[in-house]
Chains A and B, each alone.
Chain A
Amino acid sequence: MSIFSEAQCKAILDKVIALSKADECTAVLTGGVNGNIRFARNSVSTSGIVDDVELRVSVSFGKRTGSVTINEFDDAALERAVRRAEDLARLAPENPEFMPAIGKQEYRPSATFSQATADLTPEQRAQIALDSIRPCRESGLVAAGYLEDSRWFSAIANSNGNFGYQTGTSADYTCTVRTEDGRGSGWVGRNANDIREINAARDIQVAIRKARDSVDARALEPGKYTVILEPHAAAGLISFMMNFFDARQADEGRSFLSKKGGGNKLGELVYDPRVNIWADPWDPDVPVLPWDGEGLARDRLPIVENGKVVNLLYSRYWAQQQGKAPVARPGNLIMSGGTKSTADLVRETERGILVTRTWYIRMVDPQTILLTGLTRDGTFYIENGEIKYPVKNFRFNESPVIMLNNIDELGKPVRVSGDESSYSMMLPPMRLRDFTFTSLSDAV
């Protein structure tokens, strides 16, 4: 059992802080239990449970810092860890950009914990795999998927009297369904704090339908198309772009948010005025820990308002240099939209392409955040409000900045996670003009 209570955490962290003879001390105690089950070829392939707890102690003398991590918590182990961190700090090179430990923070709890997820059993995980596999096996289709769930706690304290503790859970389910002949492929993904929001028996039908409907895809000429990106398809592009809102990079002239002649684009209209993006640790649909990796308290943080960049991410060091307030790194991203579903957007589309999912997204040019990647697991041609036929997958070369200036309509946001992003997100389906496909892919 690796979930420590608040009292247990406070007792350990208080001891660590009291033991330190350094100028300052910060200690972070984190842990949890991660469960997973993986299946492929209509059969469970692996399943596992990992539990772990670790304490990281960081101490500083002047501008020299030393850190150690341990996973034993008796008094002797704690004392050894603190002394070792102090030894390391004395030997460490001075960091000219050293920032002192943060002051006492106010952490307002967010609703990250679900008892149902915390109570998930190996049998329930196996049932989710079976709920995915059975309908596929019965229909001559092949399922491959993965469920990963976790329950965790996080506690932080420092010698300035700061203390925070919170528990949470998460569950992430994905499944790819392919036809036996390999000519059709569909996919479904669900992400939630509460496992009850994931219903594999129901959700798998989305992937099954897309697998069947994507057989006999036709080749369209690459070029600029009106597209409807489902929220999952948009997630990789939007989250990639949000990694480049760092104020220092912009001020240094090496960001898409740098300004010609110097300075940054804070306050400028960069996107279509319908674009609003913010982070909010207390958002009921996508709650996250109310502090960041340094322990700075997160607050609701508007990032893009009516198309204008209203906040850049100032690290504590850069904020001090520039006379600005430091900004806690966001843990989630929320983009506003309308009320329509993806299906509603399809019904109102004269001609366009529906994209289920995007894949292997990489930076091509950081100057413009030009990204390349591919469509996958269900790409369809739309005509007069109906899905007419499946089309072969495309490679795109597109900048999310340009894309968010070519908005036709935004639908109702849903919760998604990215293949390669640490953000939990609420994103709308989006109909976009002139999305740039540069070549065809034979991959199914």
Chain B
Amino acid sequence: MQRRDFLALSGLGLGSLVLPPFLGRAIAAEQLLEKIDVGFKKRLADAALQAATSSGASYCDVRVGRYLRQFVMTREDKVQNVVNTESTGVGIRVIANGAWGFSATNVLTPDAVAATARRAVEIAKANAKLLTEPVRLARAPAYGEVSWQTPIKVNAMAVPVRDKVDLLLSVNAAALNAGADFVNSTLFLVNEQKYFASTDGSYIDQDIHRIWMPMSVTAVDKATGRFRTRDGLSAPMGMGYEYLEGGGRKYISPNGVINYGDRYDPVEDAREAAKQAREKLKAPSVKPGRYDLVLDPSHTWLTIHESVGHPLELDRVLGYEANYAGTSFATLDKRGSFRWGSDLVTFIADKTRPGSLGAVGYDDEGVKCKRWELVKDGILVDYQATRDQAHILGKEESDGCCYADSWSSVQFQRMPNVSLAPGREKLSVADMIKDVENGIYIIGDGSFSIDQQRYNAQFGGQLFYEIRNGRITGMIEDVAYQIRTPEFWNSCVAVCDESDYRLGGSFFDGKGQPGQVSAVSHGSATARFNGVNVINTARSLG
């Protein structure tokens, strides 16, 4: 995950006069509901396709994108900021003389777009001089004129800001009334209106929605100088405002912690968070050593993201990310034979699951999205590839995981939703815990860090409970566990069944230079890992 962009966004609450550049320009809330006419977008796209091919391009794709975001930020009884942003423009990618070229413009006229296409061709021709191997593009069907929309029930951009402010302030009040000293809550909304056209004969209009409501609840004990924070247990989702309107199934752990699925009750979570933050102030510190870990899906998503999703990005495996995010231990020679995990471990790549952040109809190079296996019954079987990478894996078609975070960014390989398949045998969380003699039950994501080849990782969490002889005995603190990726997934001895399956995810997965962010979900059911190294993170500053 990218910390710099997240920090820049936190700056929005601190009165900075400058927006982080990737957000584009500030607009009024009602402008969030405006759309660009599809016929107009097609005319722009055709102008680009025509200009590119007549200048010598063998392939061209055009993305007419309007990227909208809304942030409502609060702390305690105050609204810190309401920001609406828009960024609109056209990104054009071509192949000429076997090389890629890219150019972008924010001027939405056929002439400007055609000139931009010609510039992309010039850049491709210049790049071709440095080329060692021409681009080989896997075929993509011509879909004609099609459209896709995130299956939302309520467009969050259409909900009045007043209602959002009221909800956030009621969340904060619930936390304060339940014993919190401080609370921050924020609503982040994203709408990507994307039009894709290519010389392959596809014209794809997509309307993509995402929602996230993070909160942070802090309890302070001034006498001891201790403070503890419990973050919200919501997940960012590919959904509309219905995510916040309640009514869904709750997932209540054997010790009463409330987790959420495809509906979130932020007021309830804030109340619980305040109580748990106070409990954390007094919880005993963990004794370091080997423990069996029982990991809730609200936690496991981040472990999957870092130790499975990233090492299977093909560009990283090949060395294209070596200078920044790193390479991967999952080299191509391991495909088909490397034991990634125990027989219980199957990882599915999926850009189709409703409600997930990665779900779209078509990726940013016009490939229809799908679901495929990366690790099957513990064995590494596949990677994540784009059209120009498919041939490296001997594939006829792309996996459909190409994405750009803006019209002005070049699309490249990004992680699809990568999820741990639920167990095939019926198993509840309570039954899983009954068998654990010396363990820790972890709920919520916390600190995370992993090396540049994705071997050694360390994770924290939000809530830690000691398990002794099959019973949850109470809360503990100062827990972090350290893993070596293959050993960790090979220590997986149980996964709960589908009835416990939930998604977690991130709005800010960072990759590339210049850096781009993407949003991705990871699903799992509660899972058990035996004999994991747990360290104690308490220190004294004297």
CB within 8 Å of B: which residues of A?
A: 26, 28, 30, 34, 36, 38, 40-41, 43-48, 50, 52, 54, 56, 58, 67-71, 84, 87-88, 91-93, 95-97, 99, 126, 142, 144-146, 148, 156, 174-176, 178, 182, 243, 252-254, 256, 258-262, 270, 293-295, 315-316, 359-368, 370, 372-374, 376, 393, 395, 397, 399, 401-402, 405, 420-422, 438-444
Q: Which of B83, B123, B408, B447 has most chain A Cβ within 10 Å?
A: B447
A46 vs chain B, min Cβ distance (A): 6
Query: How many Cβ-Cβ contacts under 8 Å join chain A to chain B?
Result: 230
Across the interface, do B106 and A261 meet the contact criterion of CB distance under 8 Å? no
B348 vs chain A, min Cβ distance (A): 26
Across the interface, do A68 and B17 meet the contact criterion of CB distance under 8 Å? no
Across the interface, do B225 and A260 meet the contact criterion of CB distance under 8 Å? yes
Across-interface contacts of B80 in A (CB, < 8 A): 95, 97
10 contacts between A and B (CB under 8 A): A41-B320, A146-B513, A174-B324, A176-B323, A182-B327, A254-B182, A293-B14, A360-B451, A364-B537, A443-B453
Partner of A253, one of B25, B28, B225, B542: B225
Across the interface, do A364 and B447 meet the contact criterion of CB distance under 8 Å? yes
Residue of A with least CB distance to B325: A360
A123 vs chain B, min Cβ distance (A): 10
Across the interface, do B451 and A376 meet the contact criterion of CB distance under 8 Å? yes
**Which of B190-198, B215-223, B397-405, B417-425 participates in binding chain A?**
B215-223
Across the interface, do A441 and B456 meet the contact criterion of CB distance under 8 Å? yes
Partner of B540, one of A26, A58, A368: A368
Q: Which of B200-240 contact A (CB under 8 A)?
A: 218, 220-227, 229
Across the interface, do A439 and B482 meet the contact criterion of CB distance under 8 Å? yes
13 additional A-B residue pairs with CB within 8 Å, beyond A144-B321, A439-B533: A44-B130, A48-B410, A68-B28, A69-B25, A71-B106, A126-B130, A142-B319, A156-B17, A254-B182, A365-B539, A370-B537, A395-B456, A442-B456
Q: Which of B442-496 contact A (CB under 8 A)?
A: 447-456, 458, 460, 478, 480, 482, 484
Residue of B with least CB distance to A295: B17
Partner of A68, one of B26, B132, B458: B26
Assembly CA distance A373 to B448 (angstroms)? 9
Residue of B with least CB distance to A71: B25
A65 vs chain B, min Cβ distance (A): 9
Across-interface contacts of B249 in A (CB, < 8 A): none
Given contacts A258-B227, A359-B452, is CB(A69)–CB(B323) below 8 Å? no
Assembly CA distance A184 to B18 (angstroms)? 42
Q: Which of B299-346 contact A (CB under 8 A)?
A: 318-324, 326-327, 329
Across the interface, do B26 and A67 meet the contact criterion of CB distance under 8 Å? yes
Q: Which of B267-326 contact A (CB under 8 A)?
A: 318-324, 326
Given contacts A174-B323, A176-B322, A442-B329, is CB(A68)–CB(B27) below 8 Å? yes
Across the interface, do A368 and B539 meet the contact criterion of CB distance under 8 Å? yes
Across-interface contacts of B537 in A (CB, < 8 A): 364-365, 370, 397
Across the interface, do B4 and A372 meet the contact criterion of CB distance under 8 Å? no
Across the interface, do B18 and A402 meet the contact criterion of CB distance under 8 Å? no
Across-interface contacts of B222 in A (CB, < 8 A): 253, 260-262
Across-interface contacts of A376 in B (CB, < 8 A): 451-452
Assembly CA distance A363 to B541 (angstroms)? 16
Given contacts A44-B127, A144-B322, A364-B480, is CB(A254)–CB(B447) below 8 Å? no
- What 0/1 pattern do residues 517 to 542 of B give for CB contact below 8 A with A? 00000000000000001010111111
Given contacts A36-B514, A43-B130, is CB(A93)–CB(B541) below 8 Å? no
CB of B181 closer than 8 Å to a CB of A: yes
Q: Which of B49-91 contact A (CB under 8 A)?
A: 77-80, 82-83, 85
Across-interface contacts of A52 in B (CB, < 8 A): 21
User: How many chain B residues touch the partner (CB < 8 A)?
Assistant: 85
Across the interface, do B447 and A260 meet the contact criterion of CB distance under 8 Å? no
B161 vs chain A, min Cβ distance (A): 8
- What 0/1 pattern do residues 152 to 167 of B give for CB contact below 8 A with A? 0000000001100100
Across the interface, do B78 and A96 meet the contact criterion of CB distance under 8 Å? yes
Across-interface contacts of B247 in A (CB, < 8 A): none
Across-interface contacts of B454 in A (CB, < 8 A): 443
Across the interface, do B480 and A372 meet the contact criterion of CB distance under 8 Å? yes
CB of B248 closer than 8 Å to a CB of A: no
- What 0/1 pattern do residues 354 to 396 of B give for CB contact below 8 A with A? 0000000000000000000000000000000000000000000
Across-interface contacts of B450 in A (CB, < 8 A): 360
Residue of A with least CB distance to B227: A254
B12 vs chain A, min Cβ distance (A): 10
Across the interface, do B539 and A399 meet the contact criterion of CB distance under 8 Å? yes
A103 vs chain B, min Cβ distance (A): 15
Across-interface contacts of B535 in A (CB, < 8 A): 397, 438
Assembly CA distance A420 to B1 (angstroms)? 11
CB of B137 closer than 8 Å to a CB of A: no
Across the interface, do A28 and B447 meet the contact criterion of CB distance under 8 Å? no
Across-interface contacts of B78 in A (CB, < 8 A): 95-97
Across-interface contacts of A438 in B (CB, < 8 A): 458, 482, 535
- What 0/1 pattern do residues 1 to 45 of B give for CB contact below 8 A with A? 011100100010011111101001111100000000000000000
Residue of A with least CB distance to B104: A50
Given contacts A44-B127, A294-B15, is CB(A259)–CB(B225) below 8 Å? yes
Across the interface, do A69 and B26 meet the contact criterion of CB distance under 8 Å? yes
Across the interface, do B449 and A253 meet the contact criterion of CB distance under 8 Å? no
Residue of B with least CB distance to A182: B327
